[in-house]
A and B are shown apart, each in its own frame.
Chain A
Amino acid sequence: MSPARRPALPMSPTAYQVLLTLGDDALHGYAIMRRFEELTRGADELLPGTLYTTLGRMVELGWIEEASPRRGEESNGPPRRHYRITPQGRKAAKAESERMRRLVAVVKQERPDWLPERAR
């Protein structure tokens, strides 16, 4: 596969969510789904279809790479591939976070009246 022509920013929400969820660990797909649900306290979910196609794309982009699971975390289910974030992925996540921070700053400054009261 050819490397990406342009590291897409804004990145897809799913990709960003995967990068956030991975942190410093090596996780397989289902573990990513579960941890993401825990992190958002069940308010959001990652669905398998989008998640796995996105994982494939992220490998192509070089944001994540295959890794062996940490000792003791291998499951006895079907063999599952584990992924961890690459330096490139870290960079992309950082850039995306920065982009979002700038957006939130605009919101904080403008305080549009459609904002829910809690956020204001």
Chain B
Amino acid sequence: MTEALAVLLFRLATLAMPASVRAAWGKEMTAAFRATWRRRPGVRFALRASADAVRAGMAERWRLKQTRADWFPATRRPHVKTLWQDLKYGARTLLRNPGFTAVAVLTLGLGIGANTAIFTVVNSVLLRPLPYREPGRLVILWETTKELPQILVSYPNFLDWRGRVRSFDDAAIYNGYSQFTVTGKDAAERVRGGLASANLFDVLGVRPAIGRGFLPADDKVGAPPVALLSDAYWKRKFGADPGVLGQTITLDGTSHTIVGVLPPRVRLTQSEIWIPIGLFANTEQFQERANHPGTIGLARLKPGVTLAQMQSDLDGLYRQLRADHPAENAGISAAGDWIANIVLGRIRPALYVLAGAVGLVLLICCVNVANLLLGRAAGRQRELALRVAIGARRERIVAQLLTESVLLALVGGALGVVLAWGGVQVLLTLQPGNIPRLVEIRLDAPVLGFALLLSLVTGVAFGLVPALQSAGGNLVGVLRDGGRGATSGRHSLRMRSTLMVAEVALALMLLVGAGLLIRSFQKLTSVDLGVDPRNVLVGMVSLPTQAYPKDEERQALFTGLLERVRAIPQVTDAALSSDLPVNSSWQTGVTFEALPAVAPGSEPLLNAVIATPEWFGTLRMRVIAGRVFGTTDAQHAPPVMVISRSVAKRFFGDKSALGQRVRMGPPSAPWITIVGVVDDVRDTGMSVESRGTMYLPLAQAPASTMWLAVRTTPGAVAVGAALRKAVEAINKDLPLASLGTLDDRVSGEVAQPRFSMLMLGIFAGIALLLAAIGIYGVISYSVAQRTHELGVRIALGANRMSVVGMVVRQVLTMTGLGIAIGGVAALLAGSVLAKLLFGVRSSDPVTFVAVALVLTAVALVAAAVPAWRAARLDPVTALRAE
């Protein structure tokens, strides 16, 4: 929201105040609003201040009325009476024309309904504050390197934040993407877990629904292990039993006491169970300062502190941290952003585009209903003329017509709310792609208020032009003319043609938007992933280090698992890997033996993936040079790696990378020889080029958590059960987590673009339909108006085809004009869409041309019936109609 817009909103709100107050304070009040806005702009402040102005204004009006009542008798009452009369009269008129009323109400219901539905989502997701205490002071924090703008936070560095960053009220750290194996209750299960510093929920301002949160004493190595449950997990596994407090739950083989349950709306991450991070403070991943292990910072800033102030504090601290720990912290800094930007940043542009789209749909609805009203006005001219003739003032007639249209809009609005409610239910059952805060979406009082306001505004918007036009002009002449009013008919036709041009322009904008998203989605889904995701099942196997402490043990177990899995009849290939395509999670700095050394901390960062030799074949990756791993690359054999094409190209150019040696991490690490090059895989996300990946053999890089991937014969979904059985056969306490097809995981990545495309497609479809109806209405009206003229032409020997040609020309002129105007508007508005597009520019000519053609075709189809009617005109009947 810009300042101008905010000030406009506020000034509109001050209209609720009595004129005396506005005269005395208006300027000063607006200046004060503007000054405050400049200090802390924000939609919420603008809305709050405007609502306050309306409320204060109404209260003041009420008070003045009370004090004046004594010496001013009630002179205002007649107005109320008039309004009531107009309402009754309007309702009767509308009921007398059920066809017209039904079409108008349906159209308005559709428009208002779509807007209400989208507003429900926008209100719940974007406008309502996050369910934390003063969320405007919460920031998410991460560390940075020169290569990567966001990396996870080193635990020892986090410990150094405490008390050393002035801008922080308090800072916490968490890892919300951990997983625990829960045993002891039912079958072993893998659940999303979270590690949190003891103060995490205090910083958020969230109190457990029952029980207590973590205490500092829980957050230490050797403390008795405790756990907090999410509301969903508590309901699912414990049937919402409050007696859960004090019970124990076994996570990764360790018994934890349940001390509390979190309230339902807190979904910082999707973790179902939280345990204190400090329990692991002595493990390598948290003890080593150079590790950045899945942990994210969260801080509450002191009141009024800006991001820039926080950044300068962090910069100061990190200068010190780099000096104190030059080896581990070389090149490391920290940064952060408001929690709302992090949670909502991805969905915000999509929702704004959708809100704009439904706004356009509503405009089209208004145009259509205005068109209907204009058509009807022709029939009512006698009635209105009569009323003017017997002394009604024009203002009264305008007021009465407006009352009618507002009444119409209110009925449409009521229908719209019902439609919106249905639409939101459908939306919720569809569970569209990764919309944050989905659980919080509901149709509540603010939404109803919005629908009411929208109905009122809509009623005035579509009613004003027809009302002014009906009440204007030479009404008395109408009476004399026998009610045919030729002049006003032509005037009305011009008005209706203008509306049709507007409608075509609006529809074009929506269609262009939908077309661009469809093209972008096509591009996105036809990206070459570098792997073949069809008929591949994946699942995660995690070996608890307590049960399997030795690398050799885990190695043998993984090998055994692969053997068992390959024995399943429908399985053609099976392999293990530490990461799946589309979401890599491990980056590491590397040094190339043959290249000049770089300063510590600025080594290039590459993705690293641990895989078994069969990985490349199972996923159908293309080998470009050299070889992939073999059984000879065993634990004590010379270390080898396979690199992706972009790594080879970036560091060795046209020279061969084979035989070159690479070191990962500190100088003490061994040199690893490159033995092969494979084609790039989209491993950072569908729309992002890979930063380059190194593959290491599992035999030489032991790991405890691996993805199992099997390629099956087509259609073999049932293999999932067999896979679970194979894992259980090894150890009944081992779960196979996140089992699913690789295809589903890939399409999960595009769920959000698909959702935007689908919604915008629906709205554009509605717009096209409405535009077609509108064009049909205008053309048939114009043909009807010209019946006499056409009849004369045909009687004088005009070719019937030339009559059709006239109609077609008229349609093409207006559609063309609409397309030109809409095209320019769509070009100008294109930047709004740019954030949602992949591989397509917002000015994509293919889309524009295609949409223009579709729209023209639809316009011609809509005009076909009236054109046909014109061509079939019987000149005798046409002339006799006079």
The interface of chain A, by Cβ under 8 A from chain B, is 2, 28-30, 33, 41-43, 47-57, 77-78, 80-81
Cβ contact within 8 Å between B17 and A53: yes
Is B624 an interface residue, CB under 8 A from the partner? no
Cβ contact within 8 Å between B21 and A43: no
Cβ contact within 8 Å between B52 and A29: no
Cβ contact within 8 Å between B14 and A41: no
Contact status of A78 and B36, CB under 8 A, knowing A47-B53, A49-B13, A49-B57: no
Q: 21 pairs across A/B with beta carbons < 8 Å?
A: A29-B32, A30-B28, A30-B32, A47-B53, A48-B10, A48-B53, A49-B14, A49-B55, A49-B57, A50-B53, A52-B25, A53-B56, A53-B57, A53-B60, A55-B25, A56-B25, A57-B63, A78-B28, A78-B31, A80-B31, A81-B28
Cβ contact within 8 Å between A28 and B60: no
* Other-chain residue from B25, B30, B35, B303 in contact with A41 (beta carbon distance below 8 A): B303
Is B106 an interface residue, CB under 8 A from the partner? no
Cβ contact within 8 Å between A49 and B28: no
CB interface residues, B 59-102, toward A, < 8 Å: 59-60, 63, 67
* Other-chain residue from A29, A42, A47 in contact with B48 (beta carbon distance below 8 A): A47
Cβ contact within 8 Å between B303 and A49: no
Cβ contact within 8 Å between A49 and B49: yes
Q: What is the CB-to-nearest-CB distance from B707 to chain A, in angstroms, rounded to a whole number? A: 48
CB interface residues, B 18-38, toward A, < 8 Å: 21, 24-25, 27-33, 35-36
Distance of A49 Cα from B60 Cα, bound (Å): 11
* Other-chain residue from A29, A42, A43, A53 in contact with B59 (beta carbon distance below 8 A): A53
- Give me the 7 closest cross-chain CB pairs, A-B, nearest first: A49-B53, A47-B52, A30-B32, A49-B56, A52-B25, A49-B52, A42-B303
Q: What is the CB-to-nearest-CB distance from B269 to chain A, in angstroms, rounded to a whole number? A: 29
CB-CB < 8 A to A48: which residues of B?
10, 29-30, 32-33, 36, 49, 52-53
Q: What is the CB-to-nearest-CB distance from A105 to chain B, in angstroms, rounded to a whole number? A: 30
CB-CB < 8 A to B53: which residues of A?
47-50
CB-CB < 8 A to A30: which residues of B?
28, 31-32, 35-36
Cβ contact within 8 Å between B31 and A77: yes
CB-CB < 8 A to B714: which residues of A?
none
Cβ contact within 8 Å between B303 and A47: no
Cβ contact within 8 Å between A33 and B36: yes
Q: What is the CB-to-nearest-CB distance from A82 to chain B, in angstroms, rounded to a whole number? A: 11
Is B54 an interface residue, CB under 8 A from the partner? yes
Main SS at interface, chain A: helix
CB-CB < 8 A to B30: which residues of A?
48
Distance of A120 Cα from B602 Cα, bound (Å): 55
Distance of A51 Cα from B25 Cα, bound (Å): 10
Distance of A119 Cα from B55 Cα, bound (Å): 32
CB-CB < 8 A to A43: which residues of B?
303
Given contacts A29-B28, A52-B25, 13 further A-B contacts (CB under 8 A): A2-B67, A29-B32, A48-B33, A48-B52, A48-B53, A49-B14, A49-B29, A49-B57, A53-B17, A53-B21, A53-B59, A57-B63, A80-B28
Q: Closest B-chain residue to A42, C-beta based?
A: B303
CB-CB < 8 A to A81: which residues of B?
28
Distance of A14 Cα from B787 Cα, bound (Å): 69
Is B845 an interface residue, CB under 8 A from the partner? no
CB-CB < 8 A to A2: which residues of B?
67
Distance of A51 Cα from B55 Cα, bound (Å): 12
Distance of A53 Cα from B50 Cα, bound (Å): 14
Q: Closest B-chain residue to A77, C-beta based?
A: B31
CB-CB < 8 A to A42: which residues of B?
303-304
Distance of A48 Cα from B45 Cα, bound (Å): 11
Centre residue among B17, B28, B52, B54 by max chain A CB count within 10 A? B28
CB-CB < 8 A to A47: which residues of B?
48-49, 52-53
Q: Closest A-chain residue to B31, C-beta based?
A: A78
Q: What is the CB-to-nearest-CB distance from A111 to chain B, in angstroms, rounded to a whole number? A: 21
CB-CB < 8 A to B57: which residues of A?
49, 53
Distance of A50 Cα from B58 Cα, bound (Å): 11
Q: What is the CB-to-nearest-CB distance from B704 to chain A, in angstroms, rounded to a whole number? A: 45
CB-CB < 8 A to A29: which residues of B?
25, 28-29, 32
CB-CB < 8 A to A54: which residues of B?
56
Distance of A91 Cα from B388 Cα, bound (Å): 62
Q: Closest A-chain residue to B61, C-beta based?
A: A53
Q: Closest A-chain residue to B67, C-beta based?
A: A2
Q: What is the CB-to-nearest-CB distance from A80 to chain B, in angstroms, rounded to a whole number? A: 6
CB-CB < 8 A to B25: which residues of A?
29, 52-53, 55-56
Distance of A2 Cα from B32 Cα, bound (Å): 29
CB-CB < 8 A to B54: which residues of A?
49
Distance of A52 Cα from B10 Cα, bound (Å): 14
Centre residue among A2, A41, A49, A77 by max chain B CB count within 10 A? A49
CB-CB < 8 A to A78: which residues of B?
27-28, 31
Q: What is the CB-to-nearest-CB distance from B39 to chain A, in angstroms, rounded to a whole number? A: 8
CB-CB < 8 A to B59: which residues of A?
53
CB-CB < 8 A to A49: which residues of B?
13-14, 17, 29, 49-50, 52-57
Q: What is the CB-to-nearest-CB distance from A116 to chain B, in angstroms, rounded to a whole number? A: 12
Q: What is the CB-to-nearest-CB distance from A106 to chain B, in angstroms, rounded to a whole number? A: 27
Cβ contact within 8 Å between B24 and A28: no
Q: What is the CB-to-nearest-CB distance from B59 to chain A, in angstroms, rounded to a whole number? A: 7
Cβ contact within 8 Å between B36 and A28: no
Distance of A55 Cα from B17 Cα, bound (Å): 14
CB-CB < 8 A to B67: which residues of A?
2
CB-CB < 8 A to A56: which residues of B?
21, 24-25, 60
Q: What is the CB-to-nearest-CB distance from B40 to chain A, in angstroms, rounded to a whole number? A: 9
Q: What is the CB-to-nearest-CB distance from A37 to chain B, in angstroms, rounded to a whole number? A: 9
Q: Closest A-chain residue to B14, C-beta based?
A: A49
Distance of A33 Cα from B28 Cα, bound (Å): 12
Centre residue among A47, A57, A81 by max chain B CB count within 10 A? A47
Q: What is the CB-to-nearest-CB distance from A47 to chain B, in angstroms, rounded to a whole number? A: 4
Distance of A2 Cα from B66 Cα, bound (Å): 13
Distance of A54 Cα from B29 Cα, bound (Å): 12
Distance of A28 Cα from B32 Cα, bound (Å): 10
Distance of A52 Cα from B59 Cα, bound (Å): 13
Q: What is the CB-to-nearest-CB distance from B6 to chain A, in angstroms, rounded to a whole number? A: 12
Q: Closest B-chain residue to A32, C-beta based?
A: B32
CB-CB < 8 A to B17: which residues of A?
49, 53
Q: Closest A-chain residue to B26, C-beta based?
A: A52
CB-CB < 8 A to A28: which residues of B?
28
Distance of A42 Cα from B45 Cα, bound (Å): 13
Q: What is the CB-to-nearest-CB distance from B174 to chain A, in angstroms, rounded to a whole number? A: 26
CB-CB < 8 A to A53: which residues of B?
17, 21, 25, 56-57, 59-60
Q: Closest B-chain residue to A5, C-beta based?
A: B67
- Interface flags for B715-745 (1: CB within 8 Å of A; 0: not) read 0000000000000000000000000000000
Q: What is the CB-to-nearest-CB distance from B309 to chain A, in angstroms, rounded to a whole number? A: 14
Q: What is the CB-to-nearest-CB distance from B868 to chain A, in angstroms, rounded to a whole number? A: 60
CB-CB < 8 A to B35: which residues of A?
30
Q: Closest A-chain residue to B32, C-beta based?
A: A30
Q: Closest A-chain residue to B59, C-beta based?
A: A53
Distance of A11 Cα from B296 Cα, bound (Å): 49
Distance of A64 Cα from B56 Cα, bound (Å): 19
Distance of A49 Cα from B58 Cα, bound (Å): 11
Distance of A16 Cα from B25 Cα, bound (Å): 20
Q: What is the CB-to-nearest-CB distance from B110 to chain A, in angstroms, rounded to a whole number? A: 36
Distance of A55 Cα from B67 Cα, bound (Å): 18
Centre residue among B17, B35, B55, B56 by max chain A CB count within 10 A? B56
Distance of A42 Cα from B303 Cα, bound (Å): 7
CB-CB < 8 A to B60: which residues of A?
53, 56-57
Q: What is the CB-to-nearest-CB distance from B404 to chain A, in angstroms, rounded to a whole number? A: 33
Centre residue among B29, B35, B48, B57 by max chain A CB count within 10 A? B29
CB-CB < 8 A to A55: which residues of B?
25
Q: What is the CB-to-nearest-CB distance from B202 to chain A, in angstroms, rounded to a whole number? A: 14
Distance of A31 Cα from B442 Cα, bound (Å): 40
- Interface flags for B275-307 (1: CB within 8 Å of A; 0: not) read 000000000000000000000000000011000
Distance of A2 Cα from B515 Cα, bound (Å): 66
Q: Closest A-chain residue to B17, C-beta based?
A: A53
